Structure 1
């Protein structure tokens, strides 16, 4: 059972939470899709996939289809941050589809449940991660 780190961004308070969970139910989903938070233990929440990283550290890009690794000429993030105006560089990046070798998945809360995220994760003392 492949596990992944889910980095859950909460736009209301600007905090992020790390959750380790099974990513098998999300295999085949793409960046921008919304899924039920019950999959990772956030009952009542709806989460949107915003990106991720594979086991080698290559970032996912929303404009590359599939789950393959490709070398593309980039001029903007994600995957490359230009230092000068007009700079471009060939970099290896992942496609926009989640595969079993994606180890970090970045998600954003789009619909809230009854309980707060720290309550659901057992972080009542306010020791949020990241």
Structure 2
């Protein structure tokens, strides 16, 4: 299973994309810290911050499991109301990575060097 990994470097304010074929990510949850060697970044420590499934439904940290559910939302992720007090029932994906998830968002917790040195200056 190929995942599109989007890695944010908070120190630089940049994101980098990488496609990884790995089954080691299945079962991990939003908020888990993983070793960078799983996504071919030796020496880095990464934190899972979110993602989306094959239909584009966002993962939410407060929905347990990996199933898609309709929940009543008043704020993001997955819903950003224009006025205060507006709520809406939306479909979202749970906080556990499964085979249905296509994109996984992560951020660098610690690493030996900047991600721009690993990916090159032209990658963004």
Question: Which bracket does the TM-score occupy, shorter chain normalised?
Answer: over 0.9
TM-score by length of 1: 0.91
Segments of 5+ residues of structure 1 without an aligned counterpart are none
SS of residue paired to 1:25: coil
Unaligned runs of 5+ in 2: none
Q: Provide the aligned C-alpha RMSD in A.
A: 1.0
Deviations 1:84-115 (A, max 9, x none): 110001100000000011110000000112x4
SS in 1 for 2:107: strand
Following TM superposition, the consecutive aligned residue runs of length 4 or more in structure 1 with deviations greater than 2 angstroms are 115-121
Q: Which residue pairs with 1:77 in the alignment?
A: 76
Give the match for residue 10 of structure 2. Answer: 11
Secondary structure at 1:24 match in 2: coil
What is the distance in 2 between the residues matched to 1:110 and 1:116? 11
Aligned residues: 124
Quote how far apart the aligned CAs of 1:36 are. Answer: 0.5
Match of 2:57 in 1: 58
TM-score, length-scaled by structure 2 = 0.95
